Amino acid sequence: MIRKAFVIQAKEGMAEEYERRHNPIWKELEEEIKLHGISNYSIFLHPSSRYLFCYMEIADPALLDSLAQSPVCHRWWEYMTEALEVAKPGDKKGWEEELRQVFYLE
């Protein structure tokens, strides 16, 4: 199992909408996430900055990378750009930055 973490940022005034869209996520997206070896997926909001800390455990990096080819994943990304900051106007996926693990205690 490999731990992955990244940050994204909700647009001003969109944090509640972001949360609403995840409760629940689309059933077909949930199934796709699990099929691609992702488990223990959590997202935490830092309200004052609108940063979202995302954590997941993956079975295989290549399997995770292949999720980006899924049509349901692309639909979700486009749907979520309404609520997320993007790197540049017109992007079809919200900005995200992977975090480097600096400490772990089991």
Q: What residues are labeled active site?
A: 22
Instruction: Quote the CA–CA distance of 3 and 59 in Å, as a whole number.
Output: 9
Angle at CA of residue 64, ends 80 and 68, nearest 5° = 45
Question: Which long-range CB contacts under 8 A does 73-80 form with residues at least 24 apart?
Answer: 73/29, 73/32, 76/25, 76/26, 76/29, 79/21, 80/18, 80/21
